[in-house]
Chains A and B, each alone.
Chain A
Amino acid sequence: MRERFTGARLFICPGYIKDMATFEKNLFDIGYMDTLALGTTGLHRLDPRAKLITTLIFVTMVVSLGKYEISMMVPFVIYPLAMIVSGELPFGYLFKKILLVAPFAILIGIFNPLLDRQALVQIGSMSISGGWISFFSIMIRFGLTVGAALVLISLTGFNSVCMGLEKLGVPRPFVVQLLFLYRYLFVLIDEASRMARARSLRAFGSGRMQFKIFVPLIGQLLLRTLDRAQRIHLAMCCRGFDGYISMNRTMKFGFKEIRFTLAWSLLFLCFRSHNIPLEMGELIGGYLR
């Protein structure tokens, strides 16, 4: 799958240069997530609104848990996991993507163990400080929320998410803006990567971009972008553009969607109001005693 996709969309230059690697990685990422959204499982076919609402409820529930909460967060893992498994998504790829953006959360979270040293949990003779507990809590909620967003987009695809947003009452100009942005993202990243590649080939692969070269490069890209926008507008006017993009696709919020949203929401509510792992642990502990 990955091989085919790389071959279809990207041309990997034999002289492998650093800038290009990041460019093509980004392009590959966006394109790959959209390829995932072409799947045909029941979850893919579900109305985008159902998935959007459920994801939002999930994120709110996870984030609303207390600062020192870890055990109550664990059951929530089931949602992204279930989506990945029944939506046939590549677990390793999504996991890597989560790790890639983890540094920010680590950066802010790592101060908690340093500042908050009061022991909160005692396991045998080892005590764990509140700072560490809240740090792990931050990391888990980070994994869960980011995971849920990635799962949403790879099950639904960006265009469908936009249509769902419009049906949910997001102003039309904003939806049109999102669709346009997404449509031209590939074109412009391609264009920018061609320019960056041309520069680094002429600089004999030197990775350093000087400011005096950077400015005309970006300026030129901007001028090309503005020209392109004008050409697009003219072409669209020829085809009768009246300020809106008409989308001819019916969406139905039927029984399946209601069932999906309700069932998951109830489950989240249950996870949120009962500390299931603790209760289970106590039950087993009592049984053993």
Chain B
Amino acid sequence: MHMADALISPAVGGVMWVASAGLIGYCSKKMKEEVDNSKIPLMGVIGAFIFAAQMINFTIPATGSSGHIGGGMILAILLGPNAAFLTMASVLTVQALFFADGGLLALGCNIFNLGFFPCFVAYPLIYKRIVGNNPSEKLIMTGAIIAAVVGLQLGAFFVVLETLVSGISSLPFGTFVLLVQPIHLAIGIVEGLATAAVVLFVWKSRPEILQPCVSLKAVNGYSIKGVLVGFVAATLVTGCTLSWFASAHPDGLEWAMFKTAGVEELAGPEDGVHSSLATLQEKIAFLPGYGFKSGETHSLEEEAQVWPAIDPGTSMSGLVGGLLTLCLTLLIGVVVKHRKAIV
């Protein structure tokens, strides 16, 4: 489920970073406004709980696999959306840094996929609607399972979109969706079941724990509506930004198809693809901080020209040079290490 740095392009990584950073900023501001600072240690410790709880797996009968609780939904139920999003973001940051789950550039994608959807879409729109103000066993069960499934499905769909827009993987859209969504449906049901069971356990033994989120709304006049409007706007902005890439993407696939079809054909239709890729490049180029897309070095369109024209000489030079560079790098490493040992 975690996106990896290796599969995304800087443009996608950058857009998702901006989206996630914006959400973190927004949630932090909301947290600062809250008078009660008892939530601060609570968030930290519960984040650590998510970590620990995910290491305990239960066996799923008759399948030979195992499941654990999902993070986002249980956090949203216990802490409310803002605090839950910050907690989830911190969990993912620690995972990226220590367990190399995902990566630094993909962190924005991961926070958005695994944090935004459960906390700001599935929780307010599904769980809260179903459970309402007077929770019962049945309502909590249904709400948690459906919300977990929907949250995970949306997240998985975004993984597909981000991977496709980046264009590093050759998987076509249909295959990828068919590959990812059903798997995450199964995972979502298992996670939802576990989440619901744990929430029920807590609700039965200490019902007051699940109260604060409900009463907070009444006491502080905390309106979920305003938050939602903000996030719908944010989603739209992000969606529009992403759709630039998305609309240009079929051309990318076309380009891949030309490439598979044959080398000779490439010379003719190249212009159309070339220009559409060039516009894509222009669009990417005005994202701040990623200015190396000027097209003079190794951008997609150049590869379309350079790579399919098989030139044994170039390949050979690349291979020899590559090996040589690797040897040189290793040599530098060994020399420095050796010098250190002597000193």
Residues of chain A touching chain B, judged by Cβ–Cβ distance below 8 Å, are 19, 22-23, 26, 29-30, 33, 55-56, 59-72, 74-75, 77-78, 81-82, 84-86, 88, 97-98, 100-101, 104-105, 108-109, 111-112, 115-124, 127, 130-131, 134, 137-139, 141-142, 145-146, 148-150, 152-153, 158, 161, 170-174, 176-185, 187-189, 191-193, 195-196, 208-211, 213-219, 221-223, 225-226, 228-230, 232-233, 236, 241-243, 272-273, 275-282, 284-285
Contacts and interface: CB of A to CB of B under 8 A. Distances in A.
A148 B46 contact: no
A229 B45 contact: yes
Given A78-B329, A210-B58, A280-B321, A134 B170 contact: yes
Contact of B37 (A22, A84, A217, A241): A241
A278 B322 CA distance: 7
Given A171-B24, A182-B94, A229-B42, A134 B320 contact: no
B256 A116 contact: yes
Interface string B74-101: 0000000000001101110110111111
B40 A66 contact: no
B86 A177 contact: yes
Nearest to B206: A223
B100 A146 contact: yes
Interface residues of B, number: 112
Contacts of B104: 55-56, 59, 145, 148-149, 152
B185 to A, nearest CB: 18
A161 B97 contact: yes
Given A119-B310, A120-B308, A281-B319, A149 B51 contact: no
B338 to A, nearest CB: 10
Contacts of A101: 99-101
A116 B94 CA distance: 36
B109 to A, nearest CB: 12
B25 A171 contact: yes
Given A77-B329, A210-B59, A120 B42 contact: no
27 contacts: A60-B105, A74-B325, A74-B326, A77-B329, A100-B100, A111-B170, A118-B308, A134-B168, A141-B5, A146-B4, A148-B104, A149-B100, A174-B24, A176-B40, A177-B40, A177-B47, A181-B48, A181-B87, A185-B48, A188-B51, A221-B53, A229-B46, A233-B40, A272-B297, A275-B298, A281-B319, A282-B321
A221 B171 CA distance: 41
Q: Which of A26, A55, A100, A226 has the most CB of B within 10 A?
A: A226
A267 B59 CA distance: 50
Nearest to A128: B315
Contacts of A236: 41
A222 B78 CA distance: 10
A83 to B, nearest CB: 10
- The residue in A29, A66, A236, A273 that gathers the most chain B C-beta atoms within 10 A of its C-beta is A66
A23 B170 contact: no
* Of A19, A158, A275, A279, most B-chain CB atoms within 10 Å: A275
Contacts of B101: 101
Given A78-B329, A111-B171, A149 B96 contact: yes
A36 B298 CA distance: 37
Contacts of B100: 97-98, 100-101, 146, 149-150
Interface of B: 2, 4-10, 13, 24-25, 27-29, 31-32, 37-38, 40-49, 51-53, 55-60, 66, 69, 86-87, 89-91, 93-94, 96-101, 103-105, 163, 167-172, 175, 193-194, 197-198, 201-202, 205-206, 209, 256, 259-260, 262-263, 289-290, 292-293, 297-300, 302-303, 307-308, 310-322, 324-326, 329-330, 332-333, 336-337, 340
Given A141-B6, A223-B202, A282-B317, A173 B56 contact: no
A200 B317 CA distance: 59
Given A116-B260, A130-B259, A211-B58, 11 more contacts: A130-B307, A131-B170, A137-B168, A177-B90, A180-B41, A181-B90, A273-B292, A281-B318, A281-B319, A282-B321, A285-B317
Contact of A81 (B289, B308, B311, B329): B329
Nearest to A101: B100
Pick the most buried of A123, A145, A242: most chain B CB atoms within 10 A of its CB: A145
Given A55-B104, A138-B7, A232 B41 contact: yes
A177 to B, nearest CB: 5
B48 A188 contact: yes
Contacts, number: 368
Contacts of B93: 178
Contacts of B256: 116
Contacts of A243: 32, 37, 40
Interface-centre pick from B52, B87, B299 (highest chain A CB count, 10 A): B52
A225 B24 CA distance: 24
Contact of B322 (A74, A82, A285): A74
Contact of A117 (B163, B260, B290): B260
A94 to B, nearest CB: 10
B158 to A, nearest CB: 15
B293 A64 contact: yes
B4 A105 contact: yes
Given A117-B260, A184-B48, A277-B324, A226 B209 contact: yes
A67 B90 contact: no
Contact of A108 (B5, B40, B66, B163): B163
Contact of B321 (A150, A180, A278): A278
* Most A CB within 10 A of own CB, among B28, B105, B170: B170
Given A138-B7, A185-B48, A210-B59, A219 B198 contact: yes
